[in-house]
């Protein structure tokens, strides 16, 4: 007797959908961070060169307010990679949380969704590689995102390994078929 399996399908959709959203988040994080990094590289030296405007020391104000923000933005190149890795670890936690709901008859659906995920990752990594491989200013700044760029460029292989390990965790829970 097969019961209501909507919760089981929802767990699979959350895991595979979360992995897909994580790749999209990584690409957008890298592009957005690179854009902000480029803007700060252009504007901070100009703001520091203002000197005094009337009785207000603009250079001193920039040194105390914008320089700490610029330092964080410049360090975001490695922070973004660490955030991405934490997202991957979170997907394992999500698979472990749904471990008791993984019915074995859904393995085919899971594998089909993982195949779609890998194809989407190939598409996203090719788009990212076009930006990353360019020789303009944006490409040079994106090359500073060493960890995140490596994770995105090799995302088809990484996501397939992560998804299959998450599938093993998800489907190795207690047997509940026919409940």
> Is residue 68 included in any domain, yes or no?
no
Q: Is the dihedral of CA 6, 11, 14, 16 positive or negative?
A: negative
CA distances from 78 to 14, 43, 74, 165 (A): 27, 22, 9, 26
The pLDDT, as a whole number, for residue 112 is 94
How many structural domains are present in the chain? 1
> Is residue 103 included in any domain, yes or no?
yes
d(CA 142, CA 138): 6
> Is residue 56 included in any domain, yes or no?
no
Q: Which residues pair with 57 in a beta bridge?
A: 52
The pLDDT, as a whole number, for residue 176 is 55
Q: What are 2's two structure tokens?
A: 């097969």
> Is residue 177 included in any domain, yes or no?
no
d(CA 83, CA 77): 11
Residue range of the domain that includes 21: 6-50+74-171
User: Nearest 5 degrees, angle CA 177-CA 15-CA 17?
Assistant: 125
Around 99, how many Cα atoms within 13 Å sit in the side-chain half-sphere? 12
pLDDT averaged over 10-residue windows placed end to end, the chain, 179 residues: 60 90 93 90 85 81 87 87 92 83 77 94 93 88 90 94 90 63
> Is residue 150 included in any domain, yes or no?
yes
The pLDDT, as a whole number, for residue 1 is 37
Q: What are 119's two structure tokens?
A: 């194809």
> Is residue 153 included in any domain, yes or no?
yes
pTM recorded for the entire structure:
0.81
> Is residue 62 included in any domain, yes or no?
no
> Is residue 24 included in any domain, yes or no?
yes
């Amino acid at each position: 007797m097969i019961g209501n399996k909507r919760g089981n399908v929802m767990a699979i959709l959350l895991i595979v959908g979360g992995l897909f959203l994580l790749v999209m988040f990584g690409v957008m994080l890298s592009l957005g961070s690179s854009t902000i990094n480029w803007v700060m590289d252009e504007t901070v030296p100009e703001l520091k060169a203002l000197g005094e405007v009337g009785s207000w020391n603009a250079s001193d104000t920039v040194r105390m307010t914008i320089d700490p923000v610029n330092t964080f933005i410049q360090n975001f190149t490695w922070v973004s990679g660490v955030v991405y890795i934490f997202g991957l670890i979170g997907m394992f936690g999500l698979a472990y949380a749904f471990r008791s709901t993984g019915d074995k008859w859904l393995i085919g659906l899971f594998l089909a969704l993982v195949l779609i995920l890998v194809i989407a990752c190939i598409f996203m990594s090719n788009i990212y590689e076009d930006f990353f491989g360019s020789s303009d200013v944006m490409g040079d700044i994106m090359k500073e995102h060493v960890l995140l760029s490596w994770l995105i460029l090799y995302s088809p292989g990484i996501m397939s390994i992560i998804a299959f390990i998450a599938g093993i965790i998800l489907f190795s829970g207690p047997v509940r078929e026919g409940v």
